[in-house]
Amino acid sequence: MQRLRTNDQKLKESSSTRNRTMKLKVTLPTGKFEASGEVHDVTQQFQKFLHIISSLDEYPLPGKPMPYEQSPITPALETIFDNDQPSSILVFRTPPPNNEPLPNWVLLLLLGYRELRQTKDVSATVLIQALQQASHQVPRLDRMLHAYLTERFLMKGGRGKGGFYRLTGHGVDKACEKARELAALISGH
């Protein structure tokens, strides 16, 4: 058995008498991939996996706005958040209604950081501080967001206090929907 190392991915390759087979196991913050079989088949499956993983972070896919362009959701977010504060914590101008589930607040915060502060990865401690500023105590962010992680609205990287969260394309859609609803509620339309 021969071992290959490519981009911190461990590949195990073995030769059989008839076909070349391969076993590939990769763990990324966004997902795990494991396959074994003929080299061609494993390679195709891995390429599909990479395409899916890369699409989780791309939003919108066609014509992604340049960093200096204003996103269509930015006016709604400026209604929701006070972005003029010099603090690293994004503060709600008008918090969502109390009946709004707390995970949706986190989606709004992640969208706010993404669009207003150009930060895709937001640390767990910053999210907890932002929720505390809005008068919400969150003992375990990971437990509260478990369902949204499972549904792929967001993804988590790192561990414990060093962990961070990022919206997926699906999560951006849901967060934009919530932002529009809240902005309409605030402005009375």
Range of the domain at 133: 74-187
Q: What are phi and psi of 37, to 5 degrees?
A: 150, -160
Residue 150, number of CB atoms within 10 A of its CB: 8
Residue 7: per-residue pLDDT: 42
Do 88 and 170 fall within a single domain?
Answer: yes
Q: How confident is the model at residue 43 (pLDDT cuts 50, 70, 90)?
A: confident
Say if residue 118's pLDDT is above 80. yes
In a domain, 64, yes or no: no
For the segment 12-19, the average pLDDT, to the nearest whole number, is 45
Do 51 and 25 fall within a single domain?
Answer: yes
Mean pLDDT of the chain: 78
Do 127 and 179 fall within a single domain?
Answer: yes
Do 22 and 95 fall within a single domain?
Answer: no
Say if residue 175's pLDDT is above 90. yes
Element (H, E) at 177: helix 169-187
Residue 19: per-residue pLDDT: 63
More confident residue, 176 or 137: 176
> Is residue 18 helix, strand or coil?
coil
pLDDT tens readout for residues 144-172: 999 999 999 999 988 877 789 999 999 99
Q: Whole-prediction pTM value?
A: 0.63
**C-beta separation of 141 from 147 below 8 A:** no
The domain that contains 183 carries what CATH number? 1.10.10.10
In a domain, 63, yes or no: no
- How many domains is the chain partitioned into structurally? 2
> Percent of the chain beyond pLDDT 70?
76
Residue 115: per-residue pLDDT: 92
Q: How confident is the model at residue 3 (pLDDT cuts 50, 70, 90)?
A: very low
In a domain, 52, yes or no: yes
Element (H, E) at 21: strand 20-28
pLDDT tens readout for residues 94-112: 777 878 888 999 999 999 9
Measured between alpha carbons, how far is 131 from 136 in angstroms, rounded to an integer?
5
Q: What is the DSSP string of 70-106?
A: PPTTHHHHHHHEETT-SSSS-EESSPPPTTS-HHHHH
In a domain, 180, yes or no: yes
Secondary structure string (H, E, C) spanning 135-150? CCCCCCHHHHCHHHHH
Q: Which two tokens stand for residue 167?
A: 């919206």
